[in-house]
Amino acid sequence: MLAAIAALSFTAACSDSGGGSTSATSSPASSTPAPAPTNAGAAHITMKNFAFSPATLTVKAGEKITVVNEDSAVHTVTASQGGAFDTGSIAGGKSGTFTAPSKAGSYAFTCTFHPNMKGTLTVS
């Protein structure tokens, strides 16, 4: 009798875990990416097509203002009176900054190279 073969009941409990438990709750990625609140209130002036934009700007005393030159020509933001502020030359494609006067008032400014460019800075 070859009954000794029966010892091969070696059914290891390798239960192939292909179970239908597909509980992979993939989050629908509806998390809105933070909309970068960086310079939300930062004052800035853009020079484009030989004009300031905006041409009139209201800022707080001593506020820092960023000036972006989108033209290819050199521009400045220069106070028309008393040298209240001046960015100096800003080459095309570059940017600069200036600081608003600490005294409230209305300050006309221009570009020293292009006097037709005019703007007004109001310090509140």
- C-alpha 13/C-alpha 25 separation (Å) is 28
Tell me, by CB under 5 A, how many residues bind Cu ion.
Answer: 4
By beta-carbon proximity to Cu ion, the closer residue of 32 and 44 is: 44
User: Which of 66, 79, 97, 114: binder of Cu ion (CB under 5 A)?
Assistant: 114
Q: Which residues, other chains included, contact 59 with Cβ-Cβ below 8 Å and sequence gap of 6+?
A: 43, 65, 100, 121, 122, 123, 124
User: Which of 62, 99, 113, 122: binder of Cu ion (CB under 5 A)?
Assistant: 113
DSSP 8-state assignment for residue 119: E
69 binds Cu ion (CB under 5 A): no
Q: Based on C-alpha coordinates, what's the Rg of the chain?
A: 34
User: Which of 84, 111, 121, 123: binder of Cu ion (CB under 5 A)?
Assistant: 111
Q: Point out which span in 6-14, 17-25, 36-44, 72-80 binds Cu ion (CB under 5 A).
A: 72-80
Q: Point out which span in 2-10, 13-21, 70-78, 90-98 binds Cu ion (CB under 5 A).
A: 70-78
- C-alpha 119/C-alpha 56 separation (Å) is 6
Residue ranges that bind Cu ion, judged by CB under 5 A: 75, 111, 113-114
